[in-house]
Amino acid sequence: MRSVGTLTRADLAEKINRKVGFSRSESLAMVEAILDHMCGALAKGDNVKISGFGSFVLRDKNERIGRNPKTGVEVPITPRRVLTFRASQLLKQRIVDGG
C-alpha cells in the first residue's frame, strides 16, 4: 500500500476508508477537498493552522544581496513569498516518543 518513507494521498484516503467507513472514492474526494481548501487559503495569503499538528506560515522575504558560492560574485536575490511549516509541540513530542 505504501511507499517506503512516504505518506501519499492514497494512503490517507485508505486510512479514512478503514477508520470511518467511507467508500474509497468518497475518502479520496475528502482528502482532495481538504488539500484544495488548504491550497486555496494559502494562495489567498492566509496561514493554515491544524491544531495538534502544526502551522503552514507564509512569509514575505525582502530583496537582498547574495553571493554565488562558486564565483564569489554578488547578485541580487529578488523578493519572494515562502511557505514554511512549524510543527506543534504535540507533534514534536509524538515524534520524539515514537508515535
What is the domain extent for residue 99? Answer: 47-99
Q: The domain that contains 66 carries what CATH number?
A: 4.10.520.10
* Residue 40 sits in the same domain as residue 53: no
**Whole-number average pLDDT of the chain:** 92
Q: Total structural domains in the chain?
A: 2
In this predicted structure, the answer to whether residue 2 has a pLDDT above a threshold of 60 is: no
* Residue 59 sits in the same domain as residue 30: no
- pLDDT, average across residues 47-64: 96
Segment holding 12, helix H or strand E: helix 9-20
* Residue 62 sits in the same domain as residue 89: yes
In this predicted structure, the answer to whether residue 19 has a pLDDT above a threshold of 70 is: yes
Q: What percent of the chain has pLDDT over 90?
A: 90
* Residue 66 sits in the same domain as residue 91: yes
* Residue 29 sits in the same domain as residue 54: no
Q: In what order do the strands lie in the sheet with 48-50?
A: 48-50, 54-61, 80-87
Q: What pLDDT, on the 0 to 100 scale, is given for residue 54?
A: 97
* Residue 31 sits in the same domain as residue 77: no
Main-chain phi, psi angles of 54, to 5 degrees: 160, -175
Q: What pLDDT, on the 0 to 100 scale, is given for residue 5?
A: 84
